[in-house]
Amino acid sequence: MTGNGASFSRELGDEAVAAEVVNGRGELFRLLVDRHERRVAGLGHSFFHNADEVADFVQDVFLKAFRSLSQFQKRARFSTWLYRIAYTSALNRWNRRKEYKSLSENEYESSYGTPEEEHIKTTLRDAIRQAVSELPEKYRICVDLFFFYDRSYNEIEVITGYPVNTIKSHVFRAKKLLREKLKSFVEGDIP
């Protein structure tokens, strides 16, 4: 690439950037980090409870991805391949400690609206966190990836190793359990 290579490379898709990195343009890996760091960190927050652990996790994931980039075979999107590395890394660390925390339990505060609207949002958010935290672990992981990370069933299969039909079943059952647990909110009975 000649001319304004930096701006041109920003326009490339992840797969094309990955190919450029494999072909010797290692400096372009920074683009992939910039594009996916926030989501990888979000996944890290589901498993680890402090910023230092999350930062170490993110660094570890991108280091693993960089080292194995030549093995990326484009059978899935780059993001799916990267999240598989992230999920496997997190799961390996988590299995040593058993402290998974659903993304829905993380603190994401926003302050927009009247005090009454904020009370309703806070109450609903707390109810959702509580309901999700009570789901069986295998359901929580699928729900997190499906709803909070916007991953497809096929991508969740690649990331978790669960068969697609099992994932569909987990998400379906989780939604049914959540619907029952949150029935008072659906019916408008907000405390």
pTM of the predicted structure, to 2 decimals: 0.56
Question: What are the pLDDT digits (tens) for 140-152?
Answer: 888 888 887 778 8
Domain boundaries, the chain: 12-101, 110-191
Secondary structure (DSSP) of 103-164: GGGS------S-HHHHHHHHHHHHHHHHHHHTS-HHHHHHHIIIIIS---HHHHHHHH---H
Q: What is the mean pLDDT of residues 149-164?
A: 84
Secondary structure (H, E, C), 15-58: HHHHHHHHCCCHHHHHHHHHHHHHHHHHHHHHHCCCHHHHHHHH
Q: What is the mean pLDDT of residues 1-15?
A: 62
Residue type, 20: E
The pLDDT score that the predictor gives to residue 49 is 72
12-101 fold: Rna Polymerase Sigma Factor; Chain: A (1.10.1740)
Question: What are the pLDDT digits (tens) for 40-73?
Answer: 998 888 777 788 888 999 999 999 999 999 888 7
Longest distance between any two alpha carbons in the chain, whole Å? 62
Question: What are the pLDDT digits (tens) for 76-135?
Answer: 889 989 988 998 888 777 666 555 555 554 444 444 567 777 777 777 777 777 788 788
Q: What is the mean pLDDT of residues 160-165?
A: 89
CATH code that applies to domain 110-191? 1.10.10.10
Residue 75 has pLDDT above 70, yes or no: yes
How many C-alpha atoms does 135 have within 13 Å on its Cβ side? 33
Estimate to the nearest angstrom the gap between the alpha carbon of 162 and the chain centroid. Answer: 16
Residue that has been written with the tokens 């402290």 in this structure:
99
Lowest mean pLDDT among 1-5, 98-102, 136-140, 184-188: 1-5
Q: Per the structure block, which two tokens stand in for 105?
A: 């339990």
> Could you tell me which residue, 64 or 11, shows the higher pLDDT?
64
The pLDDT score that the predictor gives to residue 189 is 54
Nearest residue to 149 (alpha-carbon basis) of 74, 86, 73, 72: 86
Residue 170 has pLDDT above 70, yes or no: yes
Q: Per the structure block, which two tokens stand in for 58?
A: 């993110």
Residue 17 has pLDDT above 60, yes or no: yes
